[in-house]
Amino acid sequence: MSFLSIFSKQPKEQSKPNEAPAHWVKCQQCQSLMYFKEVEFLHQVCPKCDFHMRINATQRIELLCDEGSFVELDANLKATDPLKFVDKKSYKKRLIEANAKTGKNSSLISGEGKIEGIDVQLVCFDFAFMGGSLGSVEGERIVRAAHRALNKHQPLIIASASGGARMQESTYSLLQMSKTSAAIKRLSDAKIPYISILTDPTMGGVSASFASLGDIIMAEPGALIGFAGARVIKQTIGADLPEGFQRAEFLLEHGLIDMIVKRNDMKKTIADILGYFNIKSDVALISANEEFEAKPTDESAENFELKLKQ
């Protein structure tokens, strides 16, 4: 290498002034700067103050499901625009933008997977797609997941992260509240467990329907959960709101939710709860099969009889 070439060649991975912060994550709560891999390893939970940052539906599925077990279903359902709705932008344009941003057709991912070997129907909301809003497609996908849970006798788990009903679909969107609630009622009648996970934020029509109908309602620490926003309530009632209003801890204290579960304990907690409902995992089924195989099979019994005859 010549002396000049040292100066003429640029190092391949020369960091630009703006690149370095990309590898660092700033906690919204304690303002600490942390290396992104550390935060990624903890599923976007701050190691300094335990603040739970928002995660998308794919990250939620990775967190909850056994590796490679999740299969997405009904992904082909796409929202139409029955009202030809236009506010600052047309609804059609908003859908195209949301699709480009998330690569998805709706604000949730639904399908089936395994949690510590237990077959479940799982629905995870993605706040990045139009604020996780509940439209006709989302309602339909929840109902289909509930019906699969009913037919296959598998528990249903819904992790919500939503601003509420999708205003661009107006009444069509509001109808999803009763439609999903009716599907959850059918599960309840069949005594099939439904676990609702409330994450930051779970608001409006989502909190006022299926998200609050879980047999077990769990929330992540610090999650904002409510119907109308605090500012609207304050203006309506004309009084100051108590500290921590609409946060998971406040709701637990007032009996609206059953438990607060840290994100990194979520999978184990769900598996434990499903164990109480006597839902068997693959592991249990395998050991049951092994016991069965240890006993003489019909075939060996036939052979035994043949030997006797000989």
> Which residue, 46 or 177, is less far from Zn ion as judged by CB?
46
49 binds Zn ion (CB under 5 A): yes
Q: Is 262 one of the binding residues for Zn ion (CB under 5 A)?
A: no
Among the listed ranges 5-13, 46-54, 187-195, 209-217, the one in contact with Zn ion (CB under 5 A) is: 46-54
> Is residue 30 at the binding interface for Zn ion, with CB under 5 A as the rule?
yes
DSSP state of 297: P
Query: Is residue 29 involved in binding Zn ion (CB under 5 A)?
Result: yes
Count of chain residues binding Zn ion (CB under 5 A): 7
From residue 46, alpha-carbon distances to 30, 111, 181, 249, 266 in Å are: 9, 29, 35, 18, 16
SS3 per-residue string spanning 218-240: EECCCCEECCCCHHHHHHHHCCC
Q: Which helix (H) or strand (E) holds 309?
A: helix 298-309
Choices 49-57, 102-110, 157-165, 252-260 (CB under 5 A): range interacting with Zn ion: 49-57
Counting contacts by CB under 5 A, is residue 57 touching Zn ion?
Answer: no
Query: Can you tell me which of 27, 95, 108, 224 binds Zn ion, judged by CB under 5 A?
Result: 27
33 makes contact with Zn ion (CB under 5 A) = no
Burial of 117 (0-12, 13-18, 19+ CB in 10 A): middle
CA distance 110 to 106: 10
In the list 25, 45, 46, 95, the residue contacting Zn ion (rule: CB under 5 A) is 46
Residue 309 amino acid letter: K
Binding site for Zn ion (CB under 5 A): 27, 29-30, 46, 48-49, 51
